[in-house]
Chain A
Amino acid sequence: MSKTRSDFADFANPDTILGKGIEIKGQMSTQGDVQVNGAFSGKITTNGDVVVGEHAFVDADISGENVYVAGEVEGDIHAMDKIHILETGRVNGNVTSSALEIEAGGILKGSSTMRDVEEAVPEIDPTFEVEETQSDKDKKSDSK
C-alpha cells in the first residue's frame, strides 16, 4: 500500500496530486500542497508542502515549505522548514532545510545544508581575539 501525505500529517486534500498511470513533465509553480504518486520530471516550486509518495519517482528539483520523501527523488530539495526522508525514501541530490530527518532505511546521496547555519554564516563575528603585534602598535601610534 502506497504511503500518502495523510500517513505523515493532516493532509487530506492536497491542491495538486500527480497521480500514477501518466507521464508528467515540466515546470510546476503553484500555491498549496503537492502530492506526487506517479512519475514527474522537471521542477516543482510551491509555498506549501510536497509529498513524494512511496511508489513515486521525481526527477526534479523541489522547493517547498516541508518536503516528505517516501519514494525516489533525483534532484535537489530546498525546504523552508523540514525535509523528512522516510524509511522507503531515497534522495539523490543536495538538500537544504532548517531541519532534516532521515528514518532508518532512508537514503540521502548528496550534501546537506542547514538553512539557519547557511544564513547565519556571514553575520558571525570571530570569537577569538587577535594579539596585536609590535608593528600594529607602531601604526596606531603613528596615526595618532
Chain B
Amino acid sequence: MYLFLVNPEAGGKKFSKIEKRFVGLLDKLKIKHKIVMIENLADIPQILDENVNTRTDGVAIVGGNATVNAVINAVVSENTPIAIVPLSKTNHLATSLGIHRWEQALSAIANPNLIDVRLGKVGSHYFIGNAEIASHQNIIEKYLNKSNPLMKFLGIRQSVPSTQMAVDMDITLDQQMTIKGPVHGIRVDLVSDKDKKLRVEILAHDDNKVAKTVIMADELEAESEKKMPVVIGNETITHTPVEIKGVSKHIKLISPAPKKEDKKTKK
C-alpha cells in the first residue's frame, strides 16, 4: 500500500481539478493506496508517524518543492521508498528524475525502479544527480550547439566560449578553499563513492581553451559579478549567490524504469 501525501494547495489547487482522473489512474494501474491531504506542512511528521507501518510499500509526495522538502526532512527511515508526483511546475526533484507529469509518476509507482541516491541541496531545495551554474550566454550557446544539426553532423560537440562570456566569480569550498576568477560555468555532481559528497567542476578560460578545475567538496558557496542561473535538469531554480551542499541522507527514490533502448545497449 502506498501512502499518498497530497498538498491540496500545490500548483494552484491542481489536485482538486484532477482528483477523479488521479484516483482513476491509481485504480487502473492497480496501485493500492491511501490518500492523506496535508493541511499544514508542519503536520507531516505526525502524519507519517500515524500512517507509515510495515505494510507501507512507499510514500508518494504529491505537490511541489515545498511539499517534497517537508516530507524528505520528516522521513526518518532511509528504507522507505519515496515517489515524487509533481503537481506544480516547481518540483525540481521530479525534474531531476525525468518526471514532468503526474501521470508519469504514477506509472513509475506501478512499475517501480528503486534507486538509492544521495541528496543534495541548492539553497533549501533538494536535488539528485547534478546542478549547474552558468552564465546566460553559455546556456544559450550550449543549447545552440546541441541543437545545431551541422555541428552534430560534423561531430563538433561544443565550441570554445569566448572570454567575454566568462563571469567573475568568488567560490568557497568547505569554508577552506577560495577560488576567484572569470568562470564560464560550474557543474556539481553528487557522488556516493568518495569521501566527499560533491564533485565540483569549474570551467575557466585560458588561451582560447577551456581550463577545467575539479575538486571534491561537501559544500560550495558561489557569488558572481552578474547573476548566474542555477539549473537542475533544464530548469532554472535560482540565481547566484547560492549555496550547494551534499546531504548525508540517502533515500530510495522511485524512478521511471529504464527505456527499452537502454536495456538493449546494456545487453
Chain B neighbourhood of A25, CB < 8 A? 177-179
Cβ contact within 8 Å between B213 and A18: yes
**Smallest Cβ distance from B181 to chain A, in angstroms?**
3
A124 to chain B, nearest CB (A): 38
- The answer on a CB contact under 8 Å between A20 and B176 is no
Task: Report B182-197 CB contacts with A as 1/0, cut-off 8 Å.
Answer: 1100000000001110
Complex interface bits, A31-55 against B, C-beta within 8 A gives 1, otherwise 0 = 1100001100010000000000000
Closest to B207 in A: A20
Which of A22, A30, A32: most chain B Cβ within 10 A?
A22
B213 touches A31 (CB 8 A): no
A28 contacts B by Cβ under 8 Å:
yes
B202 x A22 contact (CB < 8 A): yes
A27 vs B177: C-alpha distance when bound (angstroms): 6
Could you say which interface size class chain A belongs to? 20 to 34
Task: Report A1-45 CB contacts with B as 1/0, cut-off 8 Å.
Answer: 000000000000011111111111111111110000110001000
By secondary structure, the A interface counts as strand
Which residues of B in the span 150-201 have a Cβ within 8 Å of any Cβ on A?
173, 176-183, 194-196
**Residues of chain B within 8 A of A31, CB atoms compared:** 194-195
Q: Identify B211's interface contact among A16, A21, A32, CB under 8 A.
A: A21
Q: Within 8 Å of chain A (Cβ to Cβ): is B261?
A: no
Cα distance A18–B214 in the bound complex, in angstroms:
6
- Known contacts A17-B214, A25-B178; 15 additional CB pairs below 8 A are A14-B214, A19-B213, A19-B214, A20-B204, A20-B206, A21-B205, A21-B211, A22-B182, A22-B211, A22-B213, A24-B177, A24-B178, A30-B215, A31-B195, A32-B194
List B residues at the A interface (Cβ < 8 Å): 173, 176-183, 194-196, 202, 204-206, 211-216
Q: List 15 A-B contacts (CB under 8 A).
A: A14-B214, A16-B216, A19-B202, A19-B204, A20-B211, A21-B182, A21-B211, A22-B182, A22-B213, A24-B178, A26-B173, A26-B178, A28-B177, A29-B176, A42-B177
